[in-house]
Amino acid sequence: MASEIDDREQFEDLVLGPLPSWGADSIQTMMSTLRSTAEPFPCIFAVAAANRGGLRFGFVDDLHDQSTWSTLPDILATYLAVYQELSHNTSLVVFFGSQDDQGDDILSYERRFWSLLQYLHDGDGEPWPSDITTETDDPGWEFSFRGTPIFVVCNTPAHRRLRSRNSPDFTITFQPRWVFEGLEPYSARGAAARRTIRERLRRMDEVDSTPLLGSFGDPDNREWKQYFLRDDATVADSCPFLAAAAGAAGAGRASSGQASSHLFKVVVNTEEQYSVWPLGRRNALGWFDTPVTGTREQCLDSIELAWTDLRPSSLRRRMARHRAAVPSLPSVPDDVLDREPATIAPA
């Protein structure tokens, strides 16, 4: 039990949004993979992020239940607000749980992946970046959210031969395009990085995916093909992602919120403090949806049951560490406690 608590506290400051009971194990497994010296991980940018404190993590309860996906936009938006302050080597890794072991195959995971990117885009609510084309069959296209171009990679349990894309959990890694500035293929650092990545991929994977790994802006490159590679190192015939016209993203979700003006939702922040907000309201940065929705009274009742300790989580952790550092006093034997107090003889 003590080890589980230590692992959880070790990663809590790296997590955006709630940390589920299974989350610490998922982070530990990924960090071990990225820091392995026996089998160096191919993506040297992710390795650098792991070693320099630039990784951040988020969790979505159930890959197969779209009602739980609402935390994903909040996690990504919160990360995008701070990523340049973390490190030039930074990434956001989002783990997806599964309530049912459905044993998805690679094509099922592929459909889920593109559905998730479409879900993010449809609920974005901000214009597509003016310098990024909306045409996926263009070398200048990149997925974007809240005005930020982002390189995206998906790993799944179904990847076997392509071991560099294997993960015990379905995961999506988001790397802002800013991370790659100064690492263009014509630069010495960029060329060296690409040589190292390709060499490590050839050692780790049973199939060769390097022909698909192009560079952003190269006339022959299509970024979306690198996002989700199938286990035989092939890709879909065309990209299923559709970018809305500028300013149109998020309109559908906004109208849904207006129609539900009498419903509320329970939200939680990074300090595990709860609040009740209107169902259609976009969350402020650092606040995340919970599964609870309903009337205001129902939401308040739920908070009363869940929020039993009003101290911020960071304060609880500090107090727990302080208690652990203070040596405990020796216990008093029971026979001493049972003795009658000594009487003082009069002078």
Confidence of residue 252 (pLDDT cuts 50, 70, 90): very low
| Average per-residue pLDDT for the chain | 87
Confidence of residue 5 (pLDDT cuts 50, 70, 90): very low
Confidence of residue 339 (pLDDT cuts 50, 70, 90): low
Confidence of residue 155 (pLDDT cuts 50, 70, 90): very high
What is the end-to-end Cα distance of the chain in Å, rounded? 57
Task: Name residue 276's beta-bridge partners.
Answer: 266
Three-state DSSP at 80 gives: helix
Torsion angle, CA of 159/31/49/36, rounded to 10 degrees?
-80
Which residues have C-beta within 8 Å of that of residue 69, sequence separation ≥ 6?
60, 116, 119
Q: Give CA–CA dist 233/52, Å, rounded.
A: 30
DSSP classification of residue 245: P
Instruction: List pLDDT tens digits, range 271-325.
Output: 889 999 998 888 888 899 988 999 999 999 999 998 988 888 878 777 877 776 7
Q: Give CA–CA dist 157/285, Å, rounded.
A: 31
Domain boundaries, the chain: 2-227, 251-325
Q: Is the pLDDT of residue 124 over 70?
A: yes
Instruction: List pLDDT tens digits, range 90-100.
Output: 999 999 998 76
Confidence of residue 253 (pLDDT cuts 50, 70, 90): very low
Mean pLDDT calculated for residue range 41-70? 94
Instruction: List pLDDT tens digits, range 182-219.
Output: 888 888 988 999 999 999 999 999 999 988 888 898 99
Q: Which candidate, 283, 220, 202, 296, places its Cα nearest to that of 18?
A: 283
Confidence of residue 12 (pLDDT cuts 50, 70, 90): confident
The strand order across the sheet containing 148-155 reads: 55-60, 91-96, 170-176, 148-155, 144-145
Q: Is the pLDDT of residue 250 over 70?
A: no
Q: What angle in degrees, to the nearest 10, is found between the helix axes of 23-34 and 44-51?
A: 120
Mean pLDDT calculated for residue range 168-174? 97
Q: What is the CA radius of gyration of the chain?
A: 25
What is the β-pairing status of strands 148-155 and 144-145?
A: antiparallel
> 1 or 38: which carries more pLDDT confidence?
38
Angle at 249 between CA 245 and CA 253, to 5 degrees: 145
Confidence of residue 251 (pLDDT cuts 50, 70, 90): very low
What pLDDT score was predicted for residue 333?
Answer: 64
What pLDDT score was predicted for residue 33?
Answer: 95
Confidence of residue 341 (pLDDT cuts 50, 70, 90): low
Contacts of 240-246 with C-beta under 8 Å, sequence gap 24+, read 240/114, 240/118, 241/114, 241/117, 241/118, 241/121, 241/136, 241/143, 242/118, 243/121, 243/128, 243/134, 243/136, 244/121, 244/122, 244/128, 246/127, 246/128
Contact at 8 Å (CB) between 50 and 34? yes
What pLDDT score was predicted for residue 223?
Answer: 95
Instruction: List pLDDT tens digits, range 315-333.
Output: 877 787 777 676 665 665 6
CATH ID of 251-325, from 3.30.559.10, 3.40.50.720, 3.90.1150.10, 3.90.820.10? 3.90.820.10
What proportion of the chain, given as a percentage, has pLDDT over 90?
65
Q: Which candidate, 246, 221, 219, 91, places its Cα nearest to that of 155?
A: 91
